[in-house]
Chains A and B, each alone.
Chain A
Amino acid sequence: MDSALATLRLMAAEPSFALAQALTGLASASSLFLVAAGLSIVFGVTRVVNFAHGSFFMVGAYLAVTAIGWLGGGAAGFWGGVVVAVLGVGLLGVLVEVAILRRLYAAPELFQLLATFGVVLVIQDGALFLWGPEDLLGPRAPGLRGAVEIFGQRIPTYDLFLIAVGPVVLVLLWLAFRRTRWGVLVRAATADREMTAALGVDERRLFTGVFALGALLAGLGGALQVPRETANLHMDLNVIAEAFVVVVVGGMGSVVGAYLAALVIGVVHAFGILLFPKLTLVLVFLIMAVVLVIRPAGLLGERGAASRQGAPEAPLRPASARLRWTAAALFAALLALPAVAGGYVLVLAVDVAILALFAASLHLLLGPGGMISFGHAAYFGIGAYGAGLAWKWLAAPMVLGLAVAPLAAGIAGAAFGWLCARASGVYLAMLTLAYAQIAWSVAAQWLAVTGGDNGVLGLWPAPWAASPAAYYYLSLVLCGGGILALRLLVHAPFGQFLRAGRDAPRRAEALGVAVGAQQWLAFIVAGAFAGLAGGLFAYAKGSVFPTYLAIPRSVDGLVMVLLGGVQSLSGPVVGALAYVGLADELARGVALWRLVLGAAIIVLAVAFRRGLAGAVGDAAARP
């Protein structure tokens, strides 16, 4: 705080500095806008949230570096290289749209998010394969290398160029959508897809064109970053989080909104760095959370259409005699496992049990609740930190730690769920992602309390549970119990009304059911069980790290639920088993494991939307 005041005093003494900082903010705003605009356009027309947009950005940067290298130096080489990169990324966009997205337009958002996340993984390994692991430094833009003095402050000319590019692209997009026949058709398709199709417009080509435009813009954004930074393999996920924030804050589908949001974020960020240099990561997500709580559809967004739920679920049936016997036999086999299997199998089995509970808790929101939680790792991680910090600061014994874990995560679920109350569909996904990122930033950067990214270490089980077999039994009882409790809850009025509120919210309200409260409670319950899983995980690994609440863990959870099948209560368990097995095999034997995993996710989202449990159920139901 003192340093913030000191900085303010310095700035007051040197007003031209504030101007320079504002210009810097405007330049980053333009960069942000270029990436976000394509994302927003694609969403506006196709209703697909494209996780792979950051990958297009990254490929744009790499292609530009390579193409400029081929074409040689000089202005022609540089700008020619940019054009080649932009067109190349456009082509990549067409390829992705035709091969994957085209099959997903009618699917629930979740599958689109996952499929495009699969594309991210594939492109990551593809880029590593094509361009190698080293960061590539491209040349600076010819003629724009220097700086100009404005009131005694040196401003890079390239920044001024970027400041101009943003509005120019905005105007061009506006003209393309308002003044061309293509733009009119696209807007018609945005407003009413069925009618446009009925009038004989080839919607598929239209969508391919829109997706290519989005990819072009991402490629342009990436290519224009070349003079500012190296092309590197972390660009994709670095940029996508911020692009999401810009698009969501601006209002999904609104290009003008995206520009406004980019301005706000760019400028706030530039000054935020001065006043709160340690809060930069949180700042962006805080802006997003605040905007969405006040305006759930973003600055210029319209209240989105209801989220797509896909085919209705079959009614829940009581466990058949066969299922009960299978479960009992499975449980007996699990009890006997330590007698026949060695240490590592037990370690893996503990992982499976914990992740199954984590996935089951997520399933409560995704399946019966019909709510996309894209930041479920937050509860897992907060549970783990609850146990870890109780041990670190209060020397709490393991039993107490395992009690604190669900409590802490349940409280987090109450807080986040309350803040998410008005959102649904993609907005809900983005909000939950934002809260998880805030929680992650706190865990990673609040060194004094959490130990930062070095984590909490030495959190091993109490002596009575220290042996692999004992800890295995403990996990089995707690996770099995948790999964059973979740199952009973879903069959009870609580869960059935959750499903009812998802199917027909107005009907439920008219029958006197508080659908919002029901969903809020579901967040608390799901959070608490995820937290219990996190606490168990902390003791199993002996440590807690910020990665426990990072995006990849949330995605793990989603993949497990979908792998198992979102419409099946046993899905999460099957999914966890399959996923841990797959990941373990991949990490040990396969060099390009992200490519394999990404491809698996894409196939799952495109072709096997009912998951493994669903497929098995179908086979069993066949006469």
Chain B
Amino acid sequence: MLRRAILGFAMCLAATVAVAQEPIRIGEINSYSGMAAFTLPYRNGWTLATEEVNKAGGVLGRKLEVVARDDAARPEDAVRLAAELVTNEKVALLAGTFFSHIGLAVSDYARQHKVLFVASEPLTDALTWEKGHRYAFRLRPSTYMQAAMLAEEAAKLPARRWATVAPNYEYGQSAVAAFKKLLQEKRPDVSFVAEQWPAQGKIDAGATVQAIALARPDAIFNVTFGADLPRFVREGTTRGLFRDRPVVSLLTGEPEYLDPMKDETPEGWIVTGYPWEAIETPEHRAFRDAYRARFNDYPRQGSVVGYVMIKSIAAGIARAGSTDTEKMVDAMGGLKLATPFGPIEFRAIDHQATLGAYVGRTAVRDGKGAMVDWRYADGARYLPDDAAVRAMRPQQ
């Protein structure tokens, strides 16, 4: 009798220990095959962070495990995979996504099914504002924030006549809209004299450059990126579009976009980005060294995002003291943590992290593109006031 009782107790204990040691699973969805250049450094980033967290004993005494899925750049697949991760893999929360529309689709799934979703890369403002809700948080500085950083710089230029060129989809259109609004607030004398909307990935660069030149703008705001950017830069340089004409350009300083242009990186563009070689804060140096040691490669913007995403989730779960969704959501609101870029906070008001970006000028150094004269623009400074945010965000 006694023996059976002892045995039973021992088994109970064993079971409790097993539960305690079962890893906390994070369901991660991203466009691994669709956007490999961006998502591979990002995957490295979260891999590094997960290893660091686990080496330090994990969270709540449990290890972290990332269950990653490829959405093939299709939002409907992402939604299906979200369901698979939640119901089959029993993940504690969802994270990731690169494209804005996929971020929004997964976010909407999270709202409907009451699952925490930490969006890492999608930029669309709607994620935390018009379509924001209790269960979604976003790490990276949004389109609005990055446009605001550049509008601040643009306002210092003497230019009055501006032209814009942006890919013809939501990201391009909202970036131009935000930039226009913010610049005209600071500079009522500014007018926009030409708009070009090439299809994403299919810019007809020569014709686009000519069309901008026809309007004779004083300065240009560029949102094109990826394969479109080098084409635009080459045609613009050859045709003299950038001669004596400042260019303000979104994301162009990120290594993902800067590196392919090598020695043809345009000089003196005002950009947002990530000068990974030059940031010598202790936090960043530690991150960079660890990343290089682990992957024998230098970090990209995506690496930082992936890394901070896992660190944020770990901090959030630790603060909640549980993997209960409601508790984690409560803990994420107002969560503060240190990152390679410095301290950030997930704002309680709109669930946007205050992670910033580096604003500087492009230059060619040793045959490669680089950012110079940069400064860190703290995301907290480039968000609208609370009343405006409340007006945009649906009331719970």
Interface set of A (CB-CB < 8 Å, partner B): 3, 7, 10-11, 14, 17, 20-21, 24-25, 27-28, 128, 133-137, 140, 145-147, 153-156, 158-159, 227-230, 232-235, 238, 269-270, 273-274, 277-278, 280-281, 342-344, 347-348, 351, 444-445, 447, 451-455, 457-458, 460, 537, 541-543, 545, 547-548, 552, 584, 587-588, 593-594
Contacts of A278 in B (CB 8 A): 168, 197
Enumerate 6 A-B pairs (CB-CB under 8 Å) in ascending A order. A154-B238, A344-B87, A454-B126, A457-B105, A541-B76, A541-B80
Contacts of A3 in B (CB 8 A): 195
Whether the pair B207, A24 counts as a contact (CB closer than 8 A) is yes
Contacts of A146 in B (CB 8 A): 238
Q: Which of B225-233, B281-289, B329-337, B381-389 contacts A (4 or more CB under 8 A)?
A: B225-233
Interface residues on B, range: 35 or more
Within 8 A of A (CB), among B179-205: 195-199, 201-202, 204-205
Give Cα A457–Cα B101 distance, bound, in whole angstroms.
Answer: 10
Contacts of A11 in B (CB 8 A): 214
Question: B41-82 interface mask toward A, CB cutoff 8 Å, 1 = contact, 0 = none?
Answer: 000000000000000000000000000011111111101110
Q: Which of B88, B205, B262 has the most CB of A within 10 A?
A: B88
Task: List the B residue with the shortest CB-CB distance to A144.
Answer: B238
Give Cα A543–Cα B106 distance, bound, in whole angstroms.
Answer: 10
Known: A21-B207, A232-B227. A453 touches B101 (CB 8 A): yes
**Is B159 an interface residue when CB atoms closer than 8 A count as contact?**
no
Task: List the A residue with the shortest CB-CB distance to B216.
Answer: A10
Chain A nearest Cβ from B252, distance in angstroms = 13
Chain B nearest Cβ from A262, distance in angstroms = 13
Give Cα A146–Cα B262 distance, bound, in whole angstroms.
Answer: 19
Task: Name the 10 nearest CB pairs between A and B, nearest first.
Answer: A133-B36, A343-B87, A133-B37, A24-B206, A135-B260, A270-B207, A344-B87, A156-B238, A281-B199, A452-B170
Chain B nearest Cβ from A346, distance in angstroms = 9
Contacts of A20 in B (CB 8 A): 210
Chain B nearest Cβ from A613, distance in angstroms = 25
Q: Apart from A14-B214, A232-B226, A454-B100, what 15 extra A-B contacts exist at CB < 8 Å?
A: A24-B206, A28-B204, A135-B260, A147-B238, A154-B238, A154-B239, A233-B36, A234-B201, A270-B204, A277-B195, A280-B168, A280-B198, A445-B169, A447-B173, A588-B84
Q: A445 touches which one: B101, B112, B168, B204 (CB < 8 A)?
A: B168
Whether the pair B199, A280 counts as a contact (CB closer than 8 A) is yes
Whether the pair B207, A28 counts as a contact (CB closer than 8 A) is yes
Q: B204 touches which one: A17, A128, A273 (CB < 8 A)?
A: A273
Chain A nearest Cβ from B396, distance in angstroms = 15
Q: A147 touches which one: B169, B196, B201, B239 (CB < 8 A)?
A: B239
Give Cα A400–Cα B129 distance, bound, in whole angstroms.
Answer: 29
Contacts of B88 in A (CB 8 A): 342, 344
Contacts of B84 in A (CB 8 A): 344, 347, 584, 588
**Is B109 an interface residue when CB atoms closer than 8 A count as contact?**
yes
Contacts of A455 in B (CB 8 A): 75, 101, 104-105
Whether the pair B206, A27 counts as a contact (CB closer than 8 A) is yes
Contacts of A229 in B (CB 8 A): 205, 227, 230-231, 234
Q: B206 touches which one: A159, A281, A453, A584 (CB < 8 A)?
A: A159
Whether the pair A545, B202 counts as a contact (CB closer than 8 A) is no
Whether the pair A457, B230 counts as a contact (CB closer than 8 A) is no
Chain B nearest Cβ from A240, distance in angstroms = 12
Interface set of B (CB-CB < 8 Å, partner A): 33, 36-37, 40, 69-77, 79-81, 83-84, 87-88, 100-101, 104-105, 108-109, 111-112, 124, 126, 131, 168-170, 173, 195-199, 201-202, 204-208, 210-211, 214-215, 226-227, 230-231, 234-235, 238-240, 259-262, 264
Whether the pair B83, A343 counts as a contact (CB closer than 8 A) is yes
Contacts of B36 in A (CB 8 A): 128, 133, 233
Contacts of A269 in B (CB 8 A): 204, 207
Contacts of B231 in A (CB 8 A): 228-230
Chain B nearest Cβ from A548, distance in angstroms = 7
Whether the pair B112, A542 counts as a contact (CB closer than 8 A) is yes
Give Cα A587–Cα B32 distance, bound, in whole angstroms.
Answer: 10
Give Cα A137–Cα B262 distance, bound, in whole angstroms.
Answer: 8
Known: A17-B210, A154-B238, A593-B70. A277 touches B196 (CB 8 A): yes
Give Cα A17–Cα B75 distance, bound, in whole angstroms.
Answer: 43
Q: A457 touches which one: B104, B196, B227, B240 (CB < 8 A)?
A: B104
Give Cα A456–Cα B235 distance, bound, in whole angstroms.
Answer: 37
Give Cα A183–Cα B69 distance, bound, in whole angstroms.
Answer: 51
Contacts of A14 in B (CB 8 A): 214
Whether the pair B197, A280 counts as a contact (CB closer than 8 A) is yes
Chain A nearest Cβ from B112, distance in angstroms = 5
Task: List the A residue with the shortest CB-CB distance to B262.
Answer: A137
Chain A nearest Cβ from B394, distance in angstroms = 10
Whether the pair B83, A137 counts as a contact (CB closer than 8 A) is no
Give Cα A25–Cα B208 distance, bound, in whole angstroms.
Answer: 11
Q: A28 touches which one: B124, B206, B259 (CB < 8 A)?
A: B206
Whether the pair A273, B240 counts as a contact (CB closer than 8 A) is no
Chain A nearest Cβ from B167, distance in angstroms = 10
Contacts of A347 in B (CB 8 A): 80, 83-84, 87
Give Cα A369–Cα B214 distance, bound, in whole angstroms.
Answer: 51
Give Cα A351–Cα B71 distance, bound, in whole angstroms.
Answer: 15
Task: List the A residue with the shortest CB-CB distance to B72.
Answer: A587
Whether the pair A234, B37 counts as a contact (CB closer than 8 A) is no
Chain B nearest Cβ from A422, distance in angstroms = 29
Chain B nearest Cβ from A531, distance in angstroms = 16
Contacts of B198 in A (CB 8 A): 273, 280
Task: List the B residue with the shortest CB-CB distance to A538.
Answer: B76
Contacts of B108 in A (CB 8 A): 457-458, 542-543
Contacts of A147 in B (CB 8 A): 238-240
Task: List the B residue with the shortest CB-CB distance to A241.
Answer: B202
Chain B nearest Cβ from A564, distance in angstroms = 21
Q: B169 touches which one: A10, A24, A133, A453 (CB < 8 A)?
A: A453
Contacts of B235 in A (CB 8 A): 156, 228
Q: Which of B75, B169, B207 has the most CB of A within 10 A?
A: B207
Whether the pair B238, A457 counts as a contact (CB closer than 8 A) is no
Whether the pair B76, A587 counts as a contact (CB closer than 8 A) is no
Contacts of B206 in A (CB 8 A): 24, 27-28, 156, 159, 270
Chain B nearest Cβ from A172, distance in angstroms = 25
Q: B101 touches which one: A21, A153, A270, A454 (CB < 8 A)?
A: A454
Whether the pair B75, A274 counts as a contact (CB closer than 8 A) is no
Contacts of A10 in B (CB 8 A): 214-215
Whether the pair B101, A135 counts as a contact (CB closer than 8 A) is no
Whether the pair B227, A135 counts as a contact (CB closer than 8 A) is yes
Q: A134 touches which one: B202, B204, B260 (CB < 8 A)?
A: B260
Task: List the A residue with the shortest CB-CB distance to B38.
Answer: A133
Chain B nearest Cβ from A377, distance in angstroms = 12
Chain B nearest Cβ from A228, distance in angstroms = 6
Known: A11-B214, A281-B199, A457-B131. A537 touches B76 (CB 8 A): yes
Whether the pair B83, A542 counts as a contact (CB closer than 8 A) is no
Whether the pair A542, B109 counts as a contact (CB closer than 8 A) is yes
Give Cα A612–Cα B195 distance, bound, in whole angstroms.
Answer: 52
Chain B nearest Cβ from A375, distance in angstroms = 17
Chain A nearest Cβ from B366, distance in angstroms = 16
Whether the pair B238, A547 counts as a contact (CB closer than 8 A) is no
Give Cα A457–Cα B70 distance, bound, in whole angstroms.
Answer: 21
Contacts of B211 in A (CB 8 A): 7, 21, 273-274, 277
Known: A455-B104, A458-B108, A545-B105. A140 touches B234 (CB 8 A): yes
Task: List the A residue with the shortest CB-CB distance to B209.
Answer: A24
Whether the pair B83, A344 counts as a contact (CB closer than 8 A) is yes
Contacts of B87 in A (CB 8 A): 342-344, 347
Task: List the B residue with the shortest CB-CB distance to A158.
Answer: B238
Contacts of B230 in A (CB 8 A): 135, 137, 229-230
Give Cα A136–Cα B208 distance, bound, in whole angstroms.
Answer: 22
Known: A273-B208, A593-B33. A543 touches B105 (CB 8 A): yes
Known: A20-B210, A156-B238. A277 touches B197 (CB 8 A): yes
Whether the pair A543, B77 counts as a contact (CB closer than 8 A) is no
